[in-house]
């Protein structure tokens, strides 16, 4: 797992053809806005989170975020235990995100 600053995250994401953005926040949080093209799997689902993550392609590079960076760091560790090689945690999370946002 790599902890990436906003700048590193944005730069790596733009240059990564194998990238998947994963939002591990709750549905209510996602309703307030999210990073474009993000897949949402709520880490608070517990076993449901693990079951859904297990369906993802382990060969991809995952860019994981939550509200502040704590849940996403936890998600990256869980994903590593499930056999995911490349996970990147967004330091500061969505609260500090200055990039593009999609609002429903």
Digit-by-digit pLDDT tens for the chain (104 residues) are 999 999 999 999 999 999 999 999 999 999 999 999 999 999 999 999 999 999 999 999 999 999 999 999 999 999 999 999 999 999 999 999 999 999 97
Q: Is 9 among the domain residues?
A: yes
> How many Å apart are CA 20 and CA 38, to the nearest integer?
7
Tally of domains within the chain: 1
Q: Is 76 among the domain residues?
A: yes
Q: Is 90 among the domain residues?
A: yes
Q: Is 58 among the domain residues?
A: yes
Q: Is 102 among the domain residues?
A: no
24: containing domain: 2-96
Q: Is 36 among the domain residues?
A: yes
> How many Å apart are CA 29 and CA 24, to the nearest integer?
10
Specify the CATH number for the domain of residue 41. Answer: 3.40.250.10
Q: Is 103 among the domain residues?
A: no
Q: Which residues are catalytically annotated? A: 66
Q: Is 71 among the domain residues?
A: yes
Using a 10 angstrom Cβ sphere, with 0-12 exposed, 13-18 middle and 19 or more buried, the burial of residue 100 is exposed
pTM beyond 0.85: the answer is: yes
Residue in the structure block whose two tokens are 């590079």: 61
């Amino acid at each position: 797992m790599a902890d990436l600053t906003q700048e590193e995250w944005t730069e790596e994401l733009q240059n990564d053809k194998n990238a998947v953005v994963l939002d591990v926040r709750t549905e209510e949080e996602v309703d307030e806005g999210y990073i474009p093209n993000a897949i949402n799997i709520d880490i608070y689902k517990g076993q449901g989170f693990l079951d859904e993550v297990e369906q993802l392609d382990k060969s991809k590079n995952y860019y994981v975020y939550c509200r502040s960076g704590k849940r996403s760091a936890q998600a990256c560790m869980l994903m590593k235990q499930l056999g995911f090689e490349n996970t990147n945690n967004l330091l500061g999370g969505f609260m500090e995100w200055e990039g593009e946002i999609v609002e429903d």
